[in-house]
Amino acid sequence: MQRPYKNVVTPMGIYALRHLESGKVLLGWSLDVQALLNRSRFELEHGSHANKALQADWREYGPEAFELVVLDELEPRLEEPTKATYRKELEALYALWLEELQPFGERAYNLRK
């Protein structure tokens, strides 16, 4: 039973959680996009999301005012790189999306580092 479970590949990639009315976006990346999205939805629904501006808008407008989009997926490779390798690739891909979308300030929930 362990072998099929270990062979399951979870989608890795870049995602955007977008407020439909304002266009504000939270851009992020994950080694398991679906799990991250499930966790984020749970946190938002229970008022415990770390991003206070996003949490406030979620509370005010409700979940139907948001869409979740997977912008880019990282394809797994047959040579089975380590999670650290995938992490580095995702961080580089994320940096490209940050440069492209500039999700900061009034247009976004992301904070500049």
CATH code assigned at 72: 3.40.1440.10
Q: What is the 3-state secondary structure (H, E, C) of the chain?
A: CHHHHHCCCCCEEEEEEEECCCCCEEEEEECCHHHHHHHHHHHHHCCCCCCHHHHHHHHHHCHHHEEEEEEEEECCCCCCCCHHHHHHHHHHHHHHHHHHHCCCHHHECCCCC
Domain assignment of residue 1, yes or no: no
Q: Is residue 5 part of a domain?
A: no
Q: Name the percent of the chain lying above pLDDT 90.
A: 65
For residue range 49-77, list pLDDT tens digits in order. 999 999 999 999 999 999 988 999 988 87
Range of the domain at 73: 10-107
How many structural domains comprise the chain? Answer: 1
pLDDT beyond 80 at 16 = yes
Within-domain flag for 81: yes
Q: Does residue 35 fall inside a structural domain?
A: yes
| Residue 85 is assigned to a structural domain of this protein | yes
pTM here? 0.81
- Residue 3 inside a domain? The answer is no
Structural domain contains residue 112: no
